[in-house]
Amino acid sequence: MQEEPEIIKLKAELQALKKRLKQDELMSAISKSFITEGNLSTLIRNALMMTGFFMEISRVSVAVLNKETNELEFEYEWVNAKHGVPGRRHQSYPFSPGEYIYDTFITRGEVILACDNIEDDPSLALLLRSLGIKAAAYVPIHIYGSFWGILIMDHYPGTRHWDRGDVQVMRLIADTVSGLVIRNEGEKELVRLKELAEQSSQAKSNFLSRMSHEMRTPMNAIIGMTTIAQAAGGDTGKIASCLTKINEASIHLLGVINDILDMSKIEAGKFEISPAEFDFGRMIDRVVGVINFRIEEKKQQFIIDIDKEIPPRIIGDEQRLAQIIANLLSNAAKFTPGEGTITLQVKQLSRQDKFCDLRFSVADTGIGITKEQMGRLFSLFEQADGTIARRFGGTGLGLSISKNIVELMGGKIWVESEPDKGSIFIFDVTLEEGAAAAEAPGKAEDDNDNDFSGRHIILAEDVEINREIVISLLEDTKIEIECAENGIEAVKLFRAAPEKYDLIFMDIHMPEMDGYEAAETIRAMDMERAKTIPIIAMTANVFKEDVEKCLVAGMNGHLGKPLNIEEVLSTLNVYLRN
């Protein structure tokens, strides 16, 4: 007996409703994957399994694009054991422009619904027939907007017609896989960032421990030797020995402080290069002179090889270039045993117009470096390994600072080394050739060069011991010094007798009126001498912006503390020999 059309229609609608309910149930179950804990592989395979059971299909797979080989590789799969699904012939398939699937996914981002009589791509239909697949669906998966892989559904027992609800489920599964991958990558990134933060924290902790040691050690020497000298009575030899050691410890401490200040500038992004013309040979001589005593102390052989083609005068940051070379030579001396060899070589690689490509290298026969250590060598707060500080000392900042300077100069720095076979630190920079040096008139060097009898200066300095130091350092010059304890007193002294004074040394941080305001006040006075008297900053503010601020305030020059007597005398000769 044939069923009535209404009954047939009702049965079809009921079947469709059941299917929609199953699809809704599946979509709800799949959505829970986002809040389920577990590894990526397990979560994706669970999603594929649920899809296969609910949709009653033979196989659900995910193929991921390998961008290096340009192939789709099957990474995740669920197979319905009841359908007798055959194994895959291949675990990867080419995925390149011109193919139907490639153009559909990449160009249009569409879902492909296929059966064995598909008309759009005969080669795909042929492939499906050869595999015994009656129906298939291919859904693109995107990660952050880029094609990542394909969700594939294969059906074997009989023809399967895909409806709109099926497509919704497919897209949800594809989005679920995409979301799980993104979540997994995010979790991996969080773990990576956490590990980096922990490593950075540990590195900084180790750094602070080294800094404490590096600063307290010379301070201990300074305080200890001072105590010994005070108790030495009239033993001048003992006192002289103490003073020598105090001086050495002070120089070391100043180096540590300078490294820390440079590091803070680097971290704040305020580390800058200040190019100017300088004598290249004199710069090399000065660096060698500073480092030579350490090399001689360990009886090491020191070879210097400077290319004669390098121009005598160069335009660049002399101080920073010297700092890099000094750092590399200091490390070479530190890590090379007694009677080892250290070589400083500077070569001109090429020259175009007025620009010279220079290569600096410092080679040693020291302990060498492993490949693993090289990865940490130029990082802030780190040394090649944890035993370096204990065995050799040092802040671990020199190479990182040097790398930053080289890169600011537009160059690169690297190391070539093997354990126990020494190291070669190399850096390349491009510098501009300076003008030919004019012949300086000869100057007789006699005992009267620094005799400033009859000259008068104002020393504006609020700290008594600093005033005492300057007065003592300049005692032999016979210069007359009048002191002011703040900017107001300095301005009063000058206003009372403007023609009396030949120069003003001006501290910056002073009570009541600082050095900047005092300089500006003097320059604003309605008298000719106020416009011409040399005002030299004498301050511990030594950064580039500090120097520029002094010049903007009307000062003529800058001397950094702690004072270098040679620089002080040189400044006096520049401004008082007229």
pLDDT in the model for residue 445: 44
- Return d(Cα 179, Cα 182) in angstroms, integer: 5
pLDDT in the model for residue 442: 44
Average pLDDT over residues 99-121: 62
pLDDT in the model for residue 224: 86
- Top-ranked range on mean pLDDT: pick from 5-19, 24-38, 126-140, 521-535: 521-535
pLDDT in the model for residue 8: 63
pLDDT in the model for residue 458: 96
pLDDT in the model for residue 387: 47
Task: Evaluate if residue 320 carries a pLDDT over 60.
Answer: yes
Task: Evaluate if residue 549 carries a pLDDT over 70.
Answer: yes
Other CB atoms within 10 A of residue 236 CB: 9
Task: Evaluate if residue 322 carries a pLDDT over 80.
Answer: yes
Task: Name residue 423's beta-bridge partners.
Answer: 364, 417
Other CB atoms within 10 A of residue 125 CB: 17
Q: In the structure, what pLDDT confidence band is assigned to residue 400 with cuts at 50, 70 and 90? A: confident
Task: Evaluate if residue 103 carries a pLDDT over 50.
Answer: yes
65-69, 205-209, 545-549, 551-555: least confidently modelled range = 205-209
Q: 426 or 258, which is more confident?
A: 426
What whole-number percentage of the chain has pLDDT above 70? 79
pLDDT in the model for residue 563: 85
User: What would the pLDDT profile of 470-506 be if each residue is shown by its tens digit?
Assistant: 999 899 999 999 999 999 999 999 999 999 999 999 9
Q: In the structure, what pLDDT confidence band is assigned to residue 325 with cuts at 50, 70 and 90? A: very high
Asked if 275 and 314 count as a contact pair (C-beta separation under 8 A), the reply is no
What length does the chain have?
578
Average pLDDT over residues 405-425: 91
pLDDT in the model for residue 305: 95
Task: Evaluate if residue 459 carries a pLDDT over 50.
Answer: yes
pLDDT in the model for residue 393: 47
**Which tokens belong to 46?**
């669970």
pTM exceeding 0.75: no
**Which tokens belong to 168?**
């919704």
Task: Evaluate if residue 14 carries a pLDDT over 80.
Answer: no
pLDDT in the model for residue 440: 41
Task: Evaluate if residue 59 carries a pLDDT over 50.
Answer: yes
Q: What mean pLDDT is reported for the chain?
A: 81
User: What would the pLDDT profile of 434-452 be if each residue is shown by its tens digit?
Assistant: 886 544 444 444 445 789 9
Task: Evaluate if residue 363 carries a pLDDT over 90.
Answer: yes
Nearest partner of 113 among 139, 142, 93, judged by Cα: 139
CA-based diameter of the chain, in Å?
136
Asked if 506 and 515 count as a contact pair (C-beta separation under 8 A), the reply is yes
pLDDT in the model for residue 244: 85
What is the DSSP code string of 248-268?
A: HHHHHHHHHHHHHHHHHHHHT
Nearest partner of 280 among 442, 411, 436, 399, judged by Cα: 436
pLDDT in the model for residue 395: 56
- Return d(Cα 200, Cα 112) in angstroms, integer: 49
Nearest partner of 490 among 471, 509, 466, 514, judged by Cα: 514
110-114, 353-357, 411-415, 503-507: least confidently modelled range = 110-114
Q: 70 or 481, which is more confident?
A: 481
Q: What's the sign of the alpha-carbon dihedral 272, 274, 275, 279?
A: negative
Q: In the structure, what pLDDT confidence band is assigned to residue 552 with cuts at 50, 70 and 90? A: very high
Cis peptide before 157 (omega within 30 of 0): no
pLDDT in the model for residue 381: 54
pLDDT in the model for residue 398: 81
268-277, 322-331, 513-522, 523-532: least confidently modelled range = 268-277
pLDDT in the model for residue 264: 77
User: Are β-strands 503-506 and 480-484 bridged in parallel, bridged antiparallel, or unpaired?
Assistant: unpaired
Q: 375 or 322, which is more confident?
A: 322
Nearest partner of 244 among 270, 219, 221, judged by Cα: 221
Rg of the Cα trace of the chain? 39
Q: In the structure, what pLDDT confidence band is assigned to residue 534 with cuts at 50, 70 and 90? A: very high
Tokens 């099957």 — which residue? 74
Average pLDDT over residues 441-468: 78
